[in-house]
Structure 1
Amino acid sequence: MSATTGPEGFDHIEALQNALRAEHAAVYGYGFVGANSGDAARKRAYEHLDAHRGQRDTLRAELLERDADPAAGERAYELPAEDGPDALAQFAAGLERTAAQAYLELAAAGDPELRDLAGRSLKSTTVRSLAWGADLMPFPGFPGGEL
């Protein structure tokens, strides 16, 4: 195993970049959710936005530490067509599912510190998705929740 690969050629840098891209999308999306929500949901959206900003900054630091150029955020991301409470909750849960999948992929890293980061982040995304009414999947982060 090298500094950037793990089992079977796993690429730490690409996994970190994918997680960073998911965090960029979550930061953007939660700004929309917060701006279009009522009081309680707005507060939750902005708390989750702050959590994703922190994760984004952590991932950027991990990439810089590995002499990699962190992926930049997109100019815009796809937003829901509707902005009612149910649509916003589903959208927020979807942001968390996307982040969960990226962290699940990062968990395959050979580096124990990255696996720890991935595990803690996967737990956090799962808890946040539950706050938006998502069902607890048996295997969070796996498409369809199944192995």
Structure 2
Amino acid sequence: MSTVVDAAQAALAAEHAAVYGYSVVGGKAADSRKAEALQAYDAHRARRDAMARTVADLGAAPVAAAGGYRLPFAVSTPADALRLAGYLEEHVAGAYGDLVAAAIGGIRRDAAAALREAAVRAVRWTGGGVAFPGLPEEG
């Protein structure tokens, strides 16, 4: 079980990666999905900034964004962009799931809201969802 600070730092790192990833999604998404990609990008920027404040409020220095990120697969088509968006949201949901498990009070409430938002966006991008977003799938 991670500490609240560790889980908050992991959620912040996931938000940094999502902001980066959505810059790729927006560049490759079909025209009909570009506005949705921009909305998700803006939502992740806002969550990133909120998580940085949360980490600082917990007495830690917020983890910085990496200079660049390795994508989980090549993104060269609109279909790839949709797949990347779904991947990003699932990754973010997992990080917030860990924060929900580690935190209490307002941090837990905010993490649960962020998890829910990521799960809803994942469904919009992928067309499907999982029973318990933020938890690893058993297979």
Q: TM-score range by the shorter chain?
A: over 0.9
Instruction: Check conservation: 1:93, 1:134, Cα contact below 8 A.
Output: no
1:90-140 deviation line (CA, Å, top 9, x unaligned): 111000000000000000134211110111011000011111124210111
Query: Matched residue pairs, number?
Result: 138
Structure 1, residues 65-109: CA drift from partner, whole Å, max 9, x if none? 122100001111122313212111111100000000000000013
Deviates more, 1:124-133 or 1:36-45: 36-45
Alpha-carbon distance, 1:33 to partner:
0.8
**2:61 corresponds to:** 69
Aligned 8 A contact 1:97 1:126 in 2: yes
Which residue of structure 2 aligns with residue 133 of structure 1? 126
Name the structure 1 match of 2:10.
Answer: 18
* Residue 91, structure 1, aligned to residue 84, structure 2: yes
Please identify runs of 4+ aligned residues in structure 1 that moved more than 6 A.
none
Given that residues 29 and 82 in structure 2 are in contact (C-alpha distance below 8 angstroms), is that contact kept between their aligned partners in structure 1? no
1:27 touches 1:49 (CA, 8 Å); kept in 2?
A: yes
Structure with greater Cα Rg: 1
TM superposition score normalised by structure 1: 0.88
SS of 1:135 mapped into structure 2: coil
Provide the C-alpha distance between the structure 2 equivalents of 1:98 and 1:113, rounded to a whole number of angstroms: 22
Q: Deviations over 1:34-63 (max 9, x none)?
A: 012222211111110000000000000111
Structure 1 position 101 matched with structure 2 position 94: yes
Structure 1 segment 40-51 matched on structure 2, within 5 A = 40-51=32-43
What value does the CA root-mean-square deviation take over the aligned residues?
1.6
Q: Name stretches of at least 5 consecutive residues in structure 1 with no aligned partner.
A: 1-8
Question: Partners in 1 of 2:75 and 2:114 — Cα distance?
Answer: 29
Comparing 107-116 with 25-34, greater Cα deviation is found at 107-116
In structure 2, C-alpha distance between the alignment counterparts of 1:110 and 1:23, rounded to whole Å: 18
Question: What amino acid does structure 2 have at the position aligned with 1:74?
Answer: A
Quick one: distance in 2 between partners of 1:29 and 1:56? 13
